[in-house]
Structure 1
Amino acid sequence: MQISKHTDPRDGSSCELLFDENDNWLRAIWLGYVDPDEAYDGASRFLAAMQQLHCPYLLNDNSQLQGPWFDSVEWLHKVWGPQAQRMGLRCIAHVVQPQDLLAQAVGTRQFFGPDLQLQLFDDVASAEEWLRAQQRLPTAGARQ
């Protein structure tokens, strides 16, 4: 089920947010060259959706991005992450693009803390497999 989609009329870049009813997770799909304003907007639309859904799982797909994705890794770490966690997010499967700044930042420290897992993947299939495994863990049911 599509929750939102924003396409930049200037260059066709987009962020689409879906609720995957079969797998019970949110899926954000980023395409093209997403400028910082588009990135903040897409991340903020995710938080707005979380106010309604309180879904513990997110597949964030950056595999089709071009250029730098987001200039504010600190904002993700200090603002977005804590808000998403308060609304119930527990697991993020992040499919990276080459030169992903988030992947570089995550490599240097525990990014969000122990109650919000972030796992990086090179392909969507591996990310989906990991999220399904997280859902099968005994504590996953208690978090939903």
Structure 2
Amino acid sequence: MENSSLTLLGATSAVQVWHDAEAHWLYVRWRGNYAIQTAEEGWELLLRCLHQQPCAMLLNDARHAATGWSGQEQWAGEALFPKLAQWGVRYVACVYPEALAARFSLDTTLGYTPQPFVAAFDDLATACTWLQQR
């Protein structure tokens, strides 16, 4: 990612979390295959980064996620996304994974998500534009 306003806050094998000082949001880039452990590690990292750098907006880039939440979609939607809201996140722009199974998993997760306000997009540019308008 070539953006001088980005600062890497942390990374695991499945996720990288960046703070975008210019846009005032966290940029979260998921990649690879997910098992329960790698997904949990990614979420724990994201929450630590939110504690370190509070933001009301989050750009969730799942384009390179190869698999979904392995049957944990309801848990992710009902427990994890509301936790983001508790930590001050008001808007999340999700970029769909290219892999169809992972895309279905994200849609299923968002169906269980009561808060924060989440919108899903097919491309990064549209997600960024939507988030900038919040």
The TM-score with structure 2 as length reference comes to 0.83
CA distance in 2, matches of 1:111, 1:82: 7
How far did 1:22 drift?
A: 1.2
| Counterpart-to-counterpart distance in 2, 1:85 and 1:105 | 15
Given the alignment of the two structures, is residue 102 of structure 1 paired with residue 120 of structure 2, yes or no?
Answer: no
SS in 1 for 2:9: strand
- CA–CA separation in structure 2 for the residues paired with 1:128 and 1:73: 24
Partner of 1:2: 8
Residue 23 to residue 74, structure 1, CA distance change in 2 (3 Å): same
Mapped contact 1:36–1:70 kept (Cα < 8 A): yes
Aligned sequence identity (%): 23
TM-score normalized by structure 1? 0.77
CA deviations over 1:58-77 (Å, ceiling 9, x no partner) = 111111121x2212112222
CA deviations on 1:86-118 (whole Å, 9 max, x unpaired) are: 110000101111332121343xx46224xx110
Runs of 4+ in 1 over 3 A off after TM superposition: none
Partners of 2:119 and 2:38 lie apart in 1 by 23
Aligned equivalents of 2:59 and 2:80: distance in 1?
15
Q: Which runs of 5+ in 1 are unaligned?
A: 8-13, 135-144
Within 5 Å, give how 1:1-144 maps onto structure 2: 1-7=7-13, 14-66=14-66, 68-71=67-70, 72-97=72-97, 98-99=100-101, 100=103, 101-106=105-110, 109=111, 111-113=113-115, 116-134=116-134
Give the CA RMSD over aligned residues: 1.6
SS in 2 for 1:18: strand
User: Which string of whole-angstrom CA distances, capped at 9 and with x for unpartnered residues, describes residues 110-143 of structure 1?
Assistant: 6224xx1100001111100000011xxxxxxxxx
Distance, in Å, in 1 between the alignment partners of 2:106 and 2:49 is: 22
Number of residue pairs matched?
123
